[in-house]
A = this chain, B = another copy of it.
Amino acid sequence: MPRAGLTEIRVVEEGERIADEVGLSSLTLAALAQRLGVRQPSLYKHVAGTDGLRRSIAIRAKIELAAVLRRATVGRARRDAIGSMARAYRAWAKQHPGRYAAAQRAPVPGDADDEFASAEAVQVAFDVMAGYNLRDDDAVDAIRGLRAALHGFVTLESDGGFGLPVDIDRSFERLVAGLATAFEAWSDDPAVSAQI
């Protein structure tokens, strides 16, 4: 009998596929082992059980999402950057619902890798807010608001929470535009305020 030739990365990637296809809650070690052609206990040679698997997926998702957001904002500023980032966020979450759900878990305090990955995405938002001349507490408020709105929207959308047959893209664009306008008003920099 030849070996299956698993590695941690192959196990985690297959787990990501399952999570995206059937939902994070249906990602079981049993299903994962079956797809990889091995028995459940064999997976423990590569990942630290269910928790370890989900943690790995979460960390990778956070880093990938941060990179996507970063790419969406290069060469853009202010509402242009916010809009582009918001659309990229929503698109990625839609394309990878399982990974996105996994990424929502806050890092266990002291888990350096997870904390680093979480900070990555926040950093992108901070950089964008600097373009509004928002700093410190003002930037924190803006990021929290933006993140809450994006996360809430994406979550409700993917859970089918928007029942009515009214254009969802339009609702999203208006929400983002409204927030961008609000952030402008929070800045006391005349160069930014003048753009309203």
CB distance from A136 to the nearest CB of B (A): 8
Q: Is the CB of A104 within 8 A of B159?
A: yes
Closest Cβ neighbor of A167 among chain B residues: B137
Q: Which of A104, A106, A170, A175 has the most CB of B within 10 A?
A: A175
Q: Is the CB of A106 within 8 A of B161?
A: yes
The majority secondary structure among interface residues of chain A is: helix
Which B residues are in CB contact (< 8 Å) with A30? Answer: none
Closest Cβ neighbor of A149 among chain B residues: B149
Q: Is the CB of A141 within 8 A of B175?
A: yes
Contact with B along A154-196 (1 / 0, CB 8 A): 0110011111101110110011011101110110000000000
Q: How many residues of A contact B (CB 8 A)?
A: 39
Tell me if A144 is interfacial: C-beta within 8 Å of chain B: yes
> Which single member of B159, B160, B164, B178 contacts A178 (CB below 8 Å)?
B178
- The verdict on A140 contacting B178 (CB below 8 Å), with A148-B156, A153-B152 known, is no
